[in-house]
Amino acid sequence: MSQEEVSPVAKLTRSSSFTQSHPKALKPFDSGEIKILLLENLNQSGVALLKKEGYQVESIKTALPEDVLIEKIREVHAIGIRSKTKLTKKILQEAKKLLAIGCFCIGTNQVDLETAANRGIAVFNSPFSNSRSVAELVIAEIISLSRHLGDRNIELHQGNWNKVSSQCYEIRGKTLGIVGYGHIGSQLSVLAESMGMTVFFHDVIQLMPLGKAKQVNTLYELLEQSDFVSLHVPETEETKNMIGEEEIARMKKRSYLINASRGTIVQIPSLIKALQNGHLLGAAIDVFPKEPAANGQFFNNELNSWTSDLLACKNVILTPHIGGSTEEAQYMIGLEVGAALVKYINYGTSIGAVNFPEVDLRAIQITEKSIRLLFCHYNVPGVLKEINEILSDHNVDKQYTDSRGNIAYMMADISDVNDQDIKKIYESVSSNRANILTRIVY
């Protein structure tokens, strides 16, 4: 085995100087052999956390062209990205050593999740860390739309003094309708209510309202009674194009639409039509069906055919997908996703994975002489029986298995084994008919 190759079976020096019970720091192999590629200028909080583990970390400020990315991904064990890097099936098939993908953002639709799972690659994201940042942006947009601040700002930059009060309103006493009452929607609910707004929300599941917010039964019921409608739903087959001509027509006349969720949720041509005919007084859009891959003069009709029509609309706030782009959010995202990568690489913990069974075990204590078997496999009948037969000659301290679709993942802590036992367990398990990826850490 060359120095560049990483053995799936590796040792960590055991310490016997502790008399009290403490979690043991497991490692899959020499930390210095782990290679991490971080793209798109990820926050230093995540970079520092991964470097502290002793990993080889390469941090690049931009996304990479496909051919360069393919060349680099062949040699790394984990990759960190944001929204511009697309990890397609073609690219993932070249990732021979890849164990995990960290999406340092909320969305994961830039990754082929099915291909990743079928290769034993766990994908992690940060669904909560930027919730406050997005909620605050929406509050700012509600106020800006109700006062036409965007248009007044542009006019004054052009030297035009236009002091008017027509169609400018306070937000106190107005009704906010929130579509999707998750972490962002619920935080927005609290902030809006504290400013005197009445809050209604619609969600596909029954949820406990915060404050005085009220859940309504249907989307149309929410649209018909809201002065402001703010969208906070994930991109799914059910939510794509969910706000189109019919839904906008059901909104209150002279109301406002805000989308800081996903670019495919709103049918933009229908929105433009409602802005042009005065049915809507304004809109704020932070996400778009197609977005530029880099900063620059790329937001034009070549990207989306309706761009110039949207730019011509009055009282429309357009922002370049910056809902979670605050220093605070990016710092927390770096810590959250970085920690998830470390836990998976070092301990096998898959809690928080979006494409993978979520499995964890109680930490091995420093006084325990145990190894941890990590077995990702296809979910077919009889496999666990076969694996347990392999382990039947050993003492299995604890074991947990879960499945997600056709992918299953097992963690098992096994005690009182020697080097020969470890080698035999690894060879037997990894040669199983359903094996995708087998690792042993200790």
Q: How confident is residue 18, by pLDDT bands cut at 50, 70 and 90?
A: very low
pLDDT for the residue numbered 25: 63
> Can you read off the two tokens belonging to residue 277?
């005919």
For residue 47, tell me if it sits in a domain: yes
Does a structural domain hold residue 49? yes
In contact, 338 and 57? CB cutoff 8 Å = no
Question: Is residue 7 one of the residues assigned to a domain?
Answer: no
pLDDT band for position 364 (cuts 50, 70, 90): confident
Tell me the mean pLDDT in the region 33-60: 95
Question: What pLDDT, on a 0 to 100 scale, did the predictor assign at position 366?
Answer: 74
Specify whether 298 is located in the same domain as 155.
yes
Same domain, 182 and 304: yes
Confidence band (pLDDT; 50, 70, 90) for 128? confident
% of the chain exceeding 70 in pLDDT:
93
Number of H helices, E strands in the chain: 14, 16
Residue 8 lies in a domain: no
Two structure tokens written together for 222: 């929410």
Annotated active-site residue in 221, 224, 291, 386: 291
Q: Is the pLDDT of residue 197 over 90?
A: yes
What is the distance, to the nearest Å, from the Cα of residue 288 to the centroid of all Cα atoms in its chain?
17
- 321 catalytic residue (yes or no): yes
CATH number where 33 lies: 3.40.50.720
Q: How far apart are CA 384 and CA 399, in angstroms?
A: 11
Domain identity same for 156 and 241: yes
Domain contains 6: no
> What confidence score (pLDDT) does residue 22 get?
56
Query: Could you report how far apart the first and last alpha carbons of the chain are, in Å?
Result: 20
> What is the pairing mode between strands 407-415 and 370-378?
antiparallel
CATH, residue 434: 3.30.70.260
Q: Give which of 101, 41, 42, 90 is closest to 67, Cα–Cα.
A: 90
pLDDT at 11 exceeding the cut of 70: no
Give the pLDDT band of residue 6 (cuts 50, 70, 90): very low
Phi-psi region of 203 (alpha: psi -120 to 50; beta: other; left: phi over 0): beta
Going by the DSSP 8-state scheme, the letter that residue 158 receives in this structure is: T
In this predicted structure, the answer to whether residue 347 has a pLDDT above a threshold of 90 is yes
Q: What pLDDT shows up at residue 341?
A: 98
For the chain, percent of residues with pLDDT exceeding 90: 87
Number of domains in the chain: 3
Dist. CA 108–CA 123, nearest whole Å? 8
Considering the domain architecture, whether residues 256 and 193 belong to the same structural domain is answered as yes
Give one word for 204, left, alpha or beta, with left for phi > 0 and alpha for psi -120 to 50.
alpha
pLDDT higher than 60, residue 313: yes
pLDDT, residue 363, reads: 87
In the set 132, 262, 372, 439, the catalytic residue is 262
The answer to whether residue 2 is domain-embedded is no
Q: Is the pTM of this model over 0.85?
A: no
Tell me the pairing of strands 316-318 and 280-285. Answer: parallel
Mean pLDDT (the chain) is: 92
Residue of 221, 178, 220, 219 whose CA lies nearest to 200: 178
Q: Which residues of 53-84 are buried (b: 16+ CB within 10 A; e: fewer)?
A: bebbbebeeebbeeeebbebbeebbbbbbbbb
**pLDDT over 70 at 9, yes or no:** no
Identify the domain containing residue 394 by its residue range: 359-441
Residues 6+ away with beta carbon under 8 Å from 251: 223, 224, 226, 229, 257, 274, 279, 280
* pLDDT digit string, tens, across residues 263-274: 999 999 999 999
Tell whether the model's pLDDT for residue 10 goes beyond 80: no
Residues 137 and 261 in one domain: yes
16 domain residue, yes or no: no
**Shared domain check, 50 and 34:** yes
Question: Same domain, yes or no, for 313 and 391?
Answer: no
Verify that 349 and 310 share a domain, yes or no: no
**pLDDT tens-place string over residues 220-263:** 999 999 999 999 999 889 999 999 999 999 999 999 999 999 99
The reply to whether 167 and 314 lie within a common domain is: yes
- Going by pLDDT thresholds of 50, 70 and 90, the confidence category of residue 24 is low
82 is catalytic: no
Residue 232 known to be catalytic: no
Q: From the candidates 321, 372, 377, 439, give the one annotated as an active-site residue.
A: 321
Averaged over 129-143, what is the pLDDT? 97
Are 112 and 219 in the same domain?
A: no
Tens-digit pLDDT profile for residues 78-118: 999 998 899 999 999 999 999 999 999 988 989 999 999 99
Confidence of residue 176 (pLDDT cuts 50, 70, 90): very high
Q: Write the DSSP string, 4-63.
A: TS--SB----------S--B----SS-GGG-EEEE-S---HHHHHHHHHTT-EEEE-SS-
Are 144 and 281 members of one domain? yes
Give the pLDDT score at 23: 61
Instruction: Say if residue 5's pLDDT is above 50.
Output: no
Same domain, 57 and 177: no
Which of 335, 356, 377 is the last residue before a domain boundary? Answer: 356
Residue 349 falls inside a structural domain = yes
